[in-house]
Structure 1
């Protein structure tokens, strides 16, 4: 991670050092295999080569705005604040995979990291709902029946317009979220670095 990584805009989703996608697309394993232990870098740190926005309007909008800024992919609504968002998908398709991203989000947006997504945005979404009554890290069935295994909510403590802390709230019973394992709100709050880069790993 570059030494100036914490100063990069918190709208940023992906960093040059990651091997990942904003939406990882599924394909039979035999068609996309790397040697065990090898990482496939999907972002060159300079361009959006190998990526595409949703080609048609979906529930999130017509595609949003995606640029490379400071060696990272940055996404926002187009125009900002309009509600017109979208998703960014890898051109390459994968079967079984392990993926890592470094992310640093603004407080307030409702976002996510889409796994096995199609161009319509139907996917398994790792929630990145970084706002009050939100959640980061649990799975939501986007366009697949809307299952949600959210075990708790998060809320922010804001001072002088700046997020200074996160509080875990509204803990649900295992019978309500269906997780075999989940961290506690306290464990999540301790692990999440407010205003800094955080790494998400999915296997």
Structure 2
């Protein structure tokens, strides 16, 4: 439930107050190697000239829609607020396709990729409502990971909990242990509305913020970013890098060498509406 202290971030007709930026990688962590260097060490190839291929953001029937541009090109991007914010509560409705690896960033730098990401990984091994550190040692704090159920014709028909319990990277138990609160996976499946609009609420409070997420009123996850235990994560370096204020950003992911088309389908889109914010 929101009240009249919230103000809209999206007017329903245009992207006024936002700007389009490409998905350009930076360093793994403050003062660390670049993502491109890590990719090369692992025998992978970073995207070529991603700055020339931002995602496409349109307004369709009052809905903000993000797609790769052109569809299936493999390049991602962001829509980022022109204003920076400190302590906030953000509420929005989202309807991503499957597979579509999207998310909401808070405290994001305006012209580099560092910031805290609230995950909306609507894809295999995806974490929805958890957190990821873009340029912040790539920490991953999620209560569970999801996959998809298929109908008799082989079409995606609903979410299920990832049977493997492990996504690409670190075991789910360690990722869940980062959280100070986390919902039960079955509670989440009951709350999530497949193929319909879902409300995401994000609260971000503090210099090294405490981040909390709710989906359709269910508290999904809470993270104290001052207490993260993750290789290479330095809370003081993070505080210096981000400062007490940052931008809000919506994501269209690229297709990387790890997940390929499971990351973002060729014709996939993410959709957003009723985006509003309250400064605390």
Higher relative contact order (CA 8 A, sep 6+): 2
Q: For the residues of structure 1 that align with 2:157 and 2:198, how far apart are their CA atoms?
A: 16
Q: CA deviation at 1:133?
A: 1.1
The answer to whether the 8 Å contact 1:53/1:88 transfers is: yes
The answer to whether the 8 Å contact 2:119/2:128 transfers is: yes
1:24-173 mapped onto 2 (5 Å cutoff) = 38-54=5-21, 58-59=24-25, 61-62=50-51, 63-118=54-109, 119-159=111-151, 160=153, 162-169=155-162, 170=165, 172-173=172-173
> Does residue 1:196 correspond to 2:187, yes or no?
no
1:176-187 mapped onto 2 (5 Å cutoff) = 177-187=177-187
Q: For the residues of structure 2 that align with 1:174 and 1:110, how far apart are their CA atoms?
A: 22
**Structure 2 vs 1, CA of residues 161 and 68 (structure 1 numbering), >3 Å: closer, same or farther?**
farther
SS at match of 2:77: coil
**Once superposed, what is the RMSD of the aligned Cα atoms?**
2.2
SS at match of 1:98: strand
1:2-41 mapped onto 2 (5 Å cutoff) = 38-41=5-8
List per-residue Cα deviations over 1:134-183 (Å, max 9, x = no partner). Answer: 11110000111111112211010122353222111317336763111101
**Structure 2 vs 1, CA of residues 57 and 101 (structure 1 numbering), >3 Å: closer, same or farther?**
closer
Q: For the residues of structure 1 that align with 2:81 and 2:195, how far apart are their CA atoms?
A: 27
Q: For the residues of structure 2 that align with 1:144 and 1:91, how far apart are their CA atoms?
A: 22
**Structure 2 vs 1, CA of residues 157 and 57 (structure 1 numbering), >3 Å: closer, same or farther?**
closer
TM-score, normalized by length of structure 1? 0.76
Q: For the residues of structure 1 that align with 2:159 and 2:57, how far apart are their CA atoms?
A: 27
Extract unaligned runs of 5+ from structure 2: 26-46, 167-171, 204-280
Q: For the residues of structure 1 that align with 2:200 and 2:89, how far apart are their CA atoms?
A: 11
The answer to whether the 8 Å contact 1:114/1:126 transfers is: yes
TM-score, normalized by length of structure 2? 0.56
Q: For the residues of structure 2 that align with 1:176 and 1:183, how far apart are their CA atoms?
A: 10
Q: For the residues of structure 1 that align with 2:175 and 2:92, how far apart are their CA atoms?
A: 30
Q: For the residues of structure 2 that align with 1:68 and 1:176, how far apart are their CA atoms?
A: 36
List per-residue Cα deviations over 1:77-133 (Å, max 9, x = no partner). Answer: 111111111010011121111100100000112111111112322111011111111
